[in-house]
């Protein structure tokens, strides 16, 4: 299901959380560096808040060097939320909007990581540019759960 919107979704950055942070090892083998990155999305329909989580794992050879997971809440303009995101049985985040908030979340996480690794050799390894287009291919559809009394 693709949602077409002629007007950008208006939003503000709300709460920022560091859900996980760990420096697991500082011995970096630069011949074998890799990373893992993943995103998650959630919606609080009552408050018109969209949440994006980003998990980043930095690896050297086969061992994890560092792990960070952050969450950013985005307060969506009520009119935009109702017209674009709110559907009868689901919330739909248009692909372009999901990409935008995912990129914003990566940037915020990059800043958090920079500050948390300030006194570590891992500060020399910032989160690289991540092509969010490879990870968000379609609209994000989040089914509304039915609450039974």
Torsion over CA: 53, 105, 29, 26 (sign): negative
Q: Cα separations (Å) of 147 from 44, 85, 93, 97, 118?
A: 14, 20, 22, 28, 45
DSSP the chain: -----SSPPPEEEEEEEEEEEEE------TTSEEEEEEEEEEEETTTTEEEEEEEEEEEETTEEEEEEEEEEEEEEPHHHIIIIIB-SSEEEE-HHHHHHHHHHHHHHHHHHHHHHTTTSGGGGSPPPP--GGGT--S-EEEEPPPPP-
Average pLDDT over residues 112-117: 98
pLDDT of residue 95: 96
- At residue 37's C-alpha, the angle toward residues 62 and 144, to 5°, is 135
- The mean per-residue pLDDT over the stretch 56-61 comes to 94
Here the tokens at position 140 are 């994000």
> What integer best gives the mean pLDDT of the chain?
92
Instruction: Name the more confident of 142 and 4.
Output: 142
Question: What's the pLDDT at 149?
Answer: 35
**Cut 0.85: pTM above it:** yes
Predicted local confidence at residue 145, as pLDDT? 80
Q: Per the structure block, which two tokens stand in for 40?
A: 């998650």
Return the pLDDT at 148: 40
Residue count (the chain): 149
Q: What structural domains and CATH numbers belong to the chain? A: 13-131 (3.10.420.10)
Q: List the one residue out of 93, 20, 34, 101 whose CA is nearest residue 65.
A: 34
Query: pLDDT tens digit string along 14-43?
Result: 999 999 999 999 988 888 999 999 999 999
146 pLDDT band (50/70/90 cuts)?
Answer: low
**Token pair in block for residue 122:** 């891992």
**Mean pLDDT value of segment 103-131:** 97
């Amino acid at each position: 299901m693709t949602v077409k919107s002629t007007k950008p979704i208006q939003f503000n950055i709300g709460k920022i959380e560091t859900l996980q942070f760990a420096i697991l090892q500082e011995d970096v083998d630069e011949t074998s560096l890799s990373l893992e990155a993943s995103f998650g999305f959630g919606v609080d329909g009552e408050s018109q808040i969209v949440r994006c989580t980003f998990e980043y794992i930095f690896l050297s050879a086969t061992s994890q060097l560092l792990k960070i997971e952050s969450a950013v809440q985005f307060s969506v303009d009520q009119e935009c939320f109702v017209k674009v995101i709110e559907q009868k049985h689901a919330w739909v985040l248009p692909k372009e909007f999901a990409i935008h908030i995912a990129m914003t979340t990566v940037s915020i996480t990059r800043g958090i990581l920079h500050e948390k690794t300030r006194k570590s050799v891992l500060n020399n390894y910032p989160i690289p540019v991540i092509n969010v287009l490879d990870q968000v291919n379609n609209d994000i559809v989040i089914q509304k759960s039915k609450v039974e009394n």
